[in-house]
């Protein structure tokens, strides 16, 4: 055959493949979500998230140390609140000495250089399981919810958080939080906005992990329709205008097109959340022997990065970091 172009020349050895590789994963690209619970010495494995645990603060510090050792530079905290502390107004979220705030203080003291991110939403704290306050007809109250989210963000900032991450999808919450943080002297605290958070069926294991049970209705009046991508661009634009520092797409792998479109629409950093359902499917299939779990994990993360994400939330962050370091994708 007389061929001018032979693309395989650029694939003929590991060295050449490395030279022409377009997308790279690094441990510093990964954010490790962690579930913090009360007590001492608690390390309670979550059935639907193999290898992931609800941990008391002392256990959490050991897990953070392990993650830092393999190159993870950012973790995100999610509190597991006992049912007796949940109520209709999510009152516990505004407790300055609450579980999440105590975890922030202790982690920042032990790991001052770690980027620490905290969830800002009411669903871990509400007895009904919604991310916002509910009116008498079951509707979600936007503006009243935002008032509580602002107080929640301020309390986290006082505890020493690096980034607040509003995941509630209430209108106007980024601007309200930004204004409040600045006025209170916390202009250095970043806002990592869940800009395009879809009403997805992939969140099931996460809700089990938190013990967050939706007592009525669904979240479709505030989380996004999975059929829409233009709406994601609008949400991202609004969050950017309101002062967000980073924009997120959640879930990640089923919404690679949205990541790419948002990447093309903004100069802000983009994050993507490889959510509990994505992680659980990989782990379950791997345990069954149906797939090579390590390779599928890395391939999925590479796809998310290739789509345009600058950083990725993944429950497999430490494992992925170890595999990246030893060149398991090569």
Cα(77)–Cα(66) distance, integer angstroms:
16
Question: Of 197, 219, 261, 305, which is the active-site residue?
Answer: 197
Cα(273)–Cα(119) distance, integer angstroms:
13
**Active site annotation includes 12:** no
Residue/partner pairs of 320-326 with CB below 8 Å, 24 or more apart: 320/25, 320/27, 320/30, 321/27, 321/30, 321/67, 321/70, 321/71, 321/72, 322/70, 323/294, 323/297, 323/298, 324/25, 324/26, 324/27, 324/298, 325/27, 325/70, 325/71
Torsion 146-150-156-160 (CA) sign: positive
Element (H, E) at 299: helix 293-307
Question: Of 85, 86, 219, 250, which is the active-site residue?
Answer: 250
How does strand 140-141 pair with strand 163-166?
unpaired
**Active site annotation includes 108:** no
Catalytic residue numbers read 197, 250
């Amino acid at each position: 055959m007389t061929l001018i172009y032979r693309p395989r020349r650029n694939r003929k050895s590991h060295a050449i493949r490395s030279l022409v590789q377009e997308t790279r994963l690094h441990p510093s690209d990964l954010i490790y979500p962690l579930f913090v619970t009360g007590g001492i010495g608690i390390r309670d494995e979550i059935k639907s998230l193999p290898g992931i645990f609800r941990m008391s603060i002392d256990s959490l510090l050991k897990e953070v140390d392990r993650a830092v050792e393999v190159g993870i530079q950012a973790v995100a905290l999610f509190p597991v609140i006992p049912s007796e502390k949940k109520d209709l107004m999510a009152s516990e979220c505004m407790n300055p000495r609450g579980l999440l705030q105590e975890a922030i203080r202790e982690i920042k003291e032990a790991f001052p250089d770690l980027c620490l991110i905290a969830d800002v939403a009411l669903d871990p704290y509400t007895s009904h399981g919604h991310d916002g306050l509910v009116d008498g007809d079951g509707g979600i109250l936007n503006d009243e919810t935002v008032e509580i989210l602002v107080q929640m963000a301020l309390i986290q900032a006082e505890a020493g958080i690096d980034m607040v991450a509003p995941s509630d999808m209430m209108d106007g919450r980024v601007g309200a939080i930004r204004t409040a943080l600045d006025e209170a002297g916390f202009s250095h605290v970043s806002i990592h906005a869940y800009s395009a958070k879809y009403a997805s069926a992939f969140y099931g294991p996460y809700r089990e992990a938190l013990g967050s049970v939706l007592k009525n209705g669904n979240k479709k009046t505030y989380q996004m329709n999975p059929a829409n991508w233009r709406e994601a661009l609008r949400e991202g634009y609004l969050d950017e205008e309101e002062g967000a520092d980073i924009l997120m797409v959640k879930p990640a792998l089923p919404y690679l097109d949205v990541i790419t479109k948002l990447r093309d629409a903004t100069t802000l950093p983009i994050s993507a959340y490889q959510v509990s359902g994505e992680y659980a499917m990989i782990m379950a299939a791997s345990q069954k022997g149906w797939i090579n779990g390590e390779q599928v994990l890395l391939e999925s993360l590479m796809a998310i990065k290739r789509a345009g994400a600058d950083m990725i939330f993944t429950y497999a962050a430490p494992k992925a970091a170890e595999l990246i370091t030893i060149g398991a994708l090569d």
